[in-house]
Structures are given as C-alpha cells and as structure tokens.
A and B are shown apart, each in its own frame.
Chain A
Amino acid sequence: MIATLGHISILLALFAALCGIVSPILAARSAQARYLEIARYAIFAQFILVTLAAATLIYGLVATDFSIKYVAFNTTRATPVYYRITGLWGALEGSLLLWEWILIIFSGVTAWIYRERHKETLPWVIMIFSIVSAFFLVVLAFLSNPFEAISPVPADGRGLNPLLEDANMMTHPPLLYTGFVGLTVPYAFAMAALITGKLDGAWIVSTRRWTIIAWFFLTAGNLVGAWWSYHVLGWGGYWAWDPVENAAFMPWLPATAFLHSIQVQERRSMLKVWNLSLIIIAFSLTIFGTFLTRSGIISSIHAFSSGPVGGFFLVFLAVILLASFGLLAYRADMLKEQPELDSMVSRESAFLLNNIVLVSALFTIFLGTIFPLISEAVAGVQVSVGAPYFNSVTVPLFLLLVFLMGVGPMIAWRRASWDNLRRNFLWPALGSLVFGLALFVWKVKEFLPLLGFTLLAFVVLTIVYDTALALRARKRIAGEGIIRGIITLARRNQRRYGGLIVHLGVVLIILGIAGSMTYSLEKEATLALKQELQIGNYRILFEGLKGSRQPTHFRVEGAFRVFHNGNDDGILTPALKFFPTQQSPIGRAVHQSSLSEDIYLILSGFSEVDRNQATLKALVRPLVIWMWIGGFVIAFGTLICIWPMKKTEPSET
C-alpha cells in the first residue's frame, strides 16, 4: 500500500523534473515570466515529492513492511530501529533514493535562497538541477525501484550485511553523498553561466560557500570511511585503494584544486576555462563514482549487485561530459581574454602548481582504478593494480602538495620580492630544517618520512610565524593581546584564517598517515591461556574466551590484558560475531589509542575443542589518532570560513 504511494511520488517528481527542464527553455524563447514561476515550483514540487518518497521508504523499513522487496532484503524483525533507518542506504535502490533526496534538498535550498537574486541565471540553474534529478528519478522509477513488491510476502526479512551494522553507518554514507551532491551546486551555476554567457565570475562568488561546504562533506565522508574501515573491517588499515574508495576520493582532488584556483580567478581574472573544466570534472567524477560503486563492474566490498543501472549511468556520464565541454567550447571566445602570469614566483603560480599536482594525482589514481578494465577490454588479460602503485605514485605528489601548502598562503600575489620571500619563509624554513635534523638524529633515518615530517613542520611554522607577525602588528596598532588579536584577525579575514586552520588539520591527517605507513608493527600468534605476545612496547596476556548471545548474532570474545611499558592498561576484547545468515564469522577488532600510537587487536580464531586457545593478530600503529583529530580541526576551520558575518566580508553574497 505505502509502496504505491512511494512509487507514485517518484513518478510525479519525475514529471515535475521534466517541467523544471522545459520551462526555462520556454521562458527564454517566449520571455514570459510565468514559465519562470513554473520552473521554481517544479523544484519545490520535487522537493516535497521526493521527501515523501524517502519518508515512505523509511516508514516501510521501520514498520518492517516486508511486502516491499527492498525492506525484506534489508531488515529483519530483530533489527534495531536505528539500523532499520540506515537500511535506507544499505543497498542500491535505497542509496539512489537517498542521493536524489539530498540532491533535491540542495536544489530546493538553493532555489529558495537565491529566489530574489540571480534572476537571469537561476532558471538555468534549476534546469541543470532538474536534469540531474530527472536522471535519478528515471533510474528510481524504472530501473531500480526501491518500492518493488515481493510476493509471497516473506515472514521475516533477510537483514543488512552484518558489516554494515555499525554506528558509522549513520554517518559515512550520508556525509559522502552530501559531499558528492553538494558539488552539483557549483556545477549547476557554472553551466548556467556558460548558457547565459555571464562569465564574469559571479557564479564563482555565489557558489563559493557551497563549494566549501561540499568540500567539507567530501573530506568528512572520506575520513569517516577511513575510520570505519579502521575500526570495523578489522584489518588494522584505514585505506586500501579499493576502487570504490578511489571513487569516493577522486572528486575530492578536483574539488580541492577548484577551491584554490577560484581564488586566482577572483583576484586576477585568470584560469577561467580551467575553473570551469575543474568543476565539470569534479561533478562528472561523482557520477562516475556512483557508476563504479553501483554497477559492480569492479569487484569490491562496497559494490552492489550489477544490473542495467551501470550502463545507464555511463550513458548519462557521456552526455554530461559532451554537453558540458561542448558548451565550454561554444563559449571559448568569451573566455579568451585574461591576464598572463607575471612571475613564476607568485601566489598565482603556487596555486597553479598545486592544481597541476592535484590533477596529476587524480589522473594517476584514475588510471590505476580503471587499468584493470582497460587491460581486460583491450588485451583480455585480467590484472589488478595493488596498493603499492597508488602509494608509490601519490606519496611524492602529496609531499609536493604539502610543500605548496606552506608556500601558497604566504607568498605574494603577482610577483614575490626577495624581501617578501625572506620575511615569510626564512625562519620557518630554518626552523623546519633544524626540526628535520633533530628527527634524523633521534630516530627517523629513511628519506621519504624524514622529508615528509620536515615539510609538515614547515607548513606549521609558516602558519605560526605569519600569525605571530600579524598578532604583533595587532598589539602595536590596537594593543590587543594574543587571544583578542586572534579573534580580530579571524573576523577580519575569515576565509584566510579558516583556510589556514584547515591546512593545519590536513597537516595532522598527513602526520597520521605518514606515521602509520612508516612505523607500524604487526605480529600474530596462537596463544594458550596465560600466554603472552610481545610487540613493540606492548605485552599482551591472554586471559580467556567468553561467548554471549546478542539480538542478531552470537558473539565470542577474547580477553587480552595489555601492558604498555610494564603498566597495566586494562583488558581489550576483540570478538568474532556469528550471524545465523552468514556461514563465516565477522570479526570485531578493538584498539586502544594514545596520542603517540594505537594498539590494535584482532581475534582471528579460537580452538573450539577446549576453548582456551586464541589466535591473535596485534598491530601497533603510530600516530593514527592524529588523522581523526585533524578531521575535527578541518571541521572547525571550515566553520570559520563559512560562518556568516556580513560586515566583515562585503563581497560575500
């Protein structure tokens, strides 16, 4: 019954989306304002209808209406309400609906906020939104219907994949989707600018905040994914260069490049074509990512079952690329005029280099991700590209990026003088060299980690030094103390100081990655009762096994007492979960974090005969916690960037 309601909402929303596509064209042809009204209503109608459809499916999941196939496949009567709701994005059909829902929320909010402004471009923005929305609605209505009925109605559902029963299921997919979909806003404004020919860069100013928000959600989505992988998947890693992880990460690269290069356009009216291309690529990659994830073309733990959806996505992707770049070529004449680079030693060129590095990273990751497809299609040889490829290619690029992160924000626009260079970089450079030398003497002997840590220190020192100089000036001018001064500076130039805080967050994340990539320890052993395992500074004592019945599964956990440098740090209990629907157990690893390192325990087996033997895998992973701390720092910096404070930023719209 409710399934019909959901399906009808989808069909009506599709009709509204078609109105949203057609009416701006009619408006442009006939110059009649009522068509513009229709366009706006079309967006709001989609907003209401898709929200209704999503609410219907959530209701079906919570009320365990097993007459809906999707509900039957993704919940059971025993599933807690929490995971019934997250079942919305537990499989293909539901996650497409979630995507469409977020898209239409973004569209609705955009259309509402800009209802009085951008009179000329807004109809076209609505048209772009409606095109994307219509695509998803067609998929939802005809190819991958979340409201499909099942008969006979099963007595109980089959339930979510046990790996997905985790608290992060509430955060990771919605965050990532919000990031993906958020990129549609700058894309839609860019396309509208191309269509109307208003290419002065107003589209960049009006979407700046949206881009920052989308970027933040992309970052957060990827980080939470890494965290999830780290603490749930039980292999002690947070990133495997899995094709689907790559799909989620790839849009982040052009989005990051875009955030930097639009500053060059705002300031110097350069890079117009480049910026348009970047946002087209970033948006296309979100669609490509869904294609990779949902078509099952590359086997991956994330990939859902294959179906006609994959091919349809590919067609849509081709249409987007052709239409967008076609439009760009059509407007090429209007984009020609722009000033040239004054000097290689300038902020423009630092940002340009940052863009080249980011796009290079994107290219190498893209190539590695699709190489198996190319190889099989062209040569008929099945291959896979392992993590070593991605590491060896991206590590140098990211180190270069870290260096630029130190240089970019401090170097002068147009042409940096020796004076500027000396004032901003002499002390930070010397400081980081001393730091690197100290690290070398103390512990770090390998080249790449040493270079990495030194560059990270360089970035931190440039930021601290620059802020200190500014604070000294505040003290001299207004007699402000440190705290008061920092507040004034941040208020006066939100984007700059917010951006610098984000940079500090990125530094922390890279610190965590570098530490755990370089200095991890790993050991495995089968332990009898009261036996010990020594790893690094840790001694792990096996104290026994315990079984317990949980609502959805049977759980066997091992008790391991952890001694760190001889101190008793308490008991860790890695577990194995046995689900009745699964033939093999699901591991539940546990870890104990400190600022310097994590101890990570995985119970990988136990002897069933006498139950006093456990096979344990132990890992020591240094500095991992800084990745998650860095995430919070980025969130804080982003907040400072986008916090609305009109009077300090008159150019902000």
Chain B
Amino acid sequence: MKKNRRFLIGAVIILAALSYMIYGGMQEAIVYFVTPSELKAKDHAPTEKFLRMGGMVVKGSMKKDLATLTYRFDLTDGGATFPVFFKGVPPDLFTEGKGAVVEGRIGADGVFKATTIMAKHAEDYSPHANGKPPANSFVPAEEARAK
C-alpha cells in the first residue's frame, strides 16, 4: 500500500511539526496564576517563572511617581499582601481598593516586577451586590470572604 504509507508519513511529519510548534510556543508563553498568599508561602524566593498575580490593591499602599511613571503598591488576597513594582502606564480602571492582575517576575529584592497590569472588570459592573464581588472580577474568592 504505497499510497497509505505516503499518507502516514505526511501525517506524522505534520503532527510532529505541529507538536514542536505548540510545545515551543507554550514554553515561552505560559503564565502561572498565583495569589499573594501562595507566593508568601513559598518564601518569595526569586523565580524565573513568568507569573500572573491577582488581588486587590491595598488602600493607602500606592506610591506613584508620575514624572518617572513608576508605581509601587501592595496586592492582597485577604490573607497575605505582596509588594509590586510597575513602570509604565496602568489601565484606566487601575486604582486603590480595586481588583487588579499583574504579570511579571519576582525580582531579587522580593518585589514583584510587573510588566503588565490588567484591571479587568465584568460586563455586569454594578458595585458589589449583596456583598458579593461581581461575577467575573479577577478578585479571588478569599477577598470576598475577608470583606
């Protein structure tokens, strides 16, 4: 079955190429989602991994310098807080007391060096109804309980 064998070889080559691309792509783009508590539990050792940390910006923790566009603030999930440093322009919805998600790496000084801040919110954007956070906010459940 010459035709079948050719078909098989073609399929194997395509699958191999595709798997290689997917594997390679995943290696550089996968982002682990962590909470401040989890990071604290790991003794905030500097890590090579690219992380995404969600939490609420602690009220009164924000120190911003508009001239250099640097921001320092703490994120909390109700249990632990973790310091974050960010240089750049944060999104409009980013402010104290609101949920935020930061992406980046932990530096040698134990501060989360964020390259991106996301302050996404749900379509259903009413202020917390019945004491519950909006359905799709990035604020973890712990925060809701802590309130």
B45 within 8 Å of A (CB atoms): no
Q: Does A583 contact B69, Cβ atoms closer than 8 Å?
A: no
Q: Does A296 contact B25, Cβ atoms closer than 8 Å?
A: no
Closest chain A CB from B105 CB (angstroms): 13
From residue 36 to 57 of chain A, which have CB atoms closer than 8 A to chain B?
none
Q: Mark B60-88, 1 if CB is under 8 A from A, else 0.
A: 00000011010000000000000000001
Give A263 to B31 CA distance when docked, in angstroms: 42
Q: Does B33 contact A301, Cβ atoms closer than 8 Å?
A: no
Q: Does A604 contact B29, Cβ atoms closer than 8 Å?
A: no
Cβ contacts under 8 Å, B125 to chain A: 161, 581-582
Interface of A is mostly: mixed
From residue 111 to 128 of chain B, which have CB atoms closer than 8 A to chain A?
119-120, 122-127
Count B-side interface residues using an 8 Å CB cutoff. 40
The interface stretch among A101-109, A137-145, A376-384 is A376-384
Q: Does A389 contact B28, Cβ atoms closer than 8 Å?
A: yes
Q: Does A392 contact B21, Cβ atoms closer than 8 Å?
A: yes
Closest chain B CB from A93 CB (angstroms): 12
Residue from the list B14, B22, B32, B93 in contact with A382, Cβ < 8 A: B32
The interface stretch among A5-13, A16-24, A584-592 is A584-592
Q: Does A584 contact B29, Cβ atoms closer than 8 Å?
A: no
A566 within 8 Å of B (CB atoms): no
A525 within 8 Å of B (CB atoms): yes
A547 within 8 Å of B (CB atoms): no
From residue 284 to 324 of chain A, which have CB atoms closer than 8 A to chain B?
296, 299-306
Q: Does A299 contact B29, Cβ atoms closer than 8 Å?
A: no
Q: Does A583 contact B92, Cβ atoms closer than 8 Å?
A: no
Interface of B is mostly: loop
Closest chain A CB from B138 CB (angstroms): 6
Q: Does A576 contact B92, Cβ atoms closer than 8 Å?
A: yes
Q: Does A383 contact B66, Cβ atoms closer than 8 Å?
A: no
Residue from the list B21, B32, B91, B136 in contact with A393, Cβ < 8 A: B21
Q: Does A303 contact B28, Cβ atoms closer than 8 Å?
A: no
Count of chain A to chain B residue pairs whose CB atoms are closer than 8 Å in the complex: 122
B141 within 8 Å of A (CB atoms): no
B12 within 8 Å of A (CB atoms): no
Give A371 to B31 CA distance when docked, in angstroms: 11
Cβ contacts under 8 Å, B44 to chain A: none
Cβ contacts under 8 Å, A367 to chain B: 22
Q: Does A393 contact B122, Cβ atoms closer than 8 Å?
A: no
B30 within 8 Å of A (CB atoms): yes
Interface range for A = 35 or more
A496 within 8 Å of B (CB atoms): no
Closest A residue to B138 using CB positions = A299
Closest chain A CB from B91 CB (angstroms): 8
Residue from the list B21, B22, B89, B122 in contact with A303, Cβ < 8 A: B122
Q: Does B31 contact A385, Cβ atoms closer than 8 Å?
A: yes
Q: Does B89 contact A296, Cβ atoms closer than 8 Å?
A: no
Q: Does A383 contact B14, Cβ atoms closer than 8 Å?
A: no
Are A360 and B92 also in contact (CB < 8 A) when A386-B29, A526-B67, A584-B119 are? no
B26 within 8 Å of A (CB atoms): yes
Residue from the list B29, B66, B134, B138 in contact with A526, Cβ < 8 A: B66
Closest chain A CB from B118 CB (angstroms): 9
Residue from the list A302, A306, A382, A387 in contact with B29, Cβ < 8 A: A387
Closest B residue to A307 using CB positions = B135
Q: Does A584 contact B95, Cβ atoms closer than 8 Å?
A: yes
Q: Does B136 contact A305, Cβ atoms closer than 8 Å?
A: yes
Q: Does A91 contact B123, Cβ atoms closer than 8 Å?
A: yes
A174 within 8 Å of B (CB atoms): no
Q: Does B66 contact A615, Cβ atoms closer than 8 Å?
A: yes
Closest A residue to B14 using CB positions = A356
A4 within 8 Å of B (CB atoms): no
A396 within 8 Å of B (CB atoms): yes
Closest B residue to A340 using CB positions = B3
Q: Does A392 contact B66, Cβ atoms closer than 8 Å?
A: no
Closest chain B CB from A583 CB (angstroms): 7
From residue 349 to 370 of chain A, which have CB atoms closer than 8 A to chain B?
356, 360, 363-364, 367-368
B24 within 8 Å of A (CB atoms): yes
6 interchain residue pairs of minimum CB distance: A389-B29, A382-B33, A388-B29, A604-B89, A305-B135, A389-B25
Q: List B residues at the A interface (Cβ < 8 Å).
A: 3, 14, 18, 21-22, 24-26, 28-34, 52, 66-67, 69, 88-95, 98, 119-120, 122-127, 134-136, 138
- A301-B123, A386-B30, A583-B127 known, 20 other contacts, Cβ within 8 Å: A91-B123, A296-B135, A301-B120, A302-B123, A305-B122, A306-B136, A364-B25, A383-B31, A383-B33, A392-B29, A393-B25, A524-B69, A526-B69, A576-B92, A583-B98, A584-B93, A584-B94, A584-B95, A615-B66, A615-B89
A-B contact pairs, 20 of them (CB 8 A): A296-B122, A300-B136, A303-B136, A305-B135, A356-B14, A382-B33, A383-B30, A385-B31, A386-B31, A388-B28, A388-B29, A389-B25, A389-B26, A392-B24, A524-B89, A526-B69, A583-B98, A602-B89, A604-B90, A604-B92
Q: List A residues at the B interface (Cβ < 8 Å).
A: 73, 91, 158, 161, 234-235, 296, 299-306, 340, 356, 360, 363-364, 367-368, 371, 381-390, 392-393, 396, 524-526, 576, 581-587, 602, 604-605, 607, 613, 615, 617
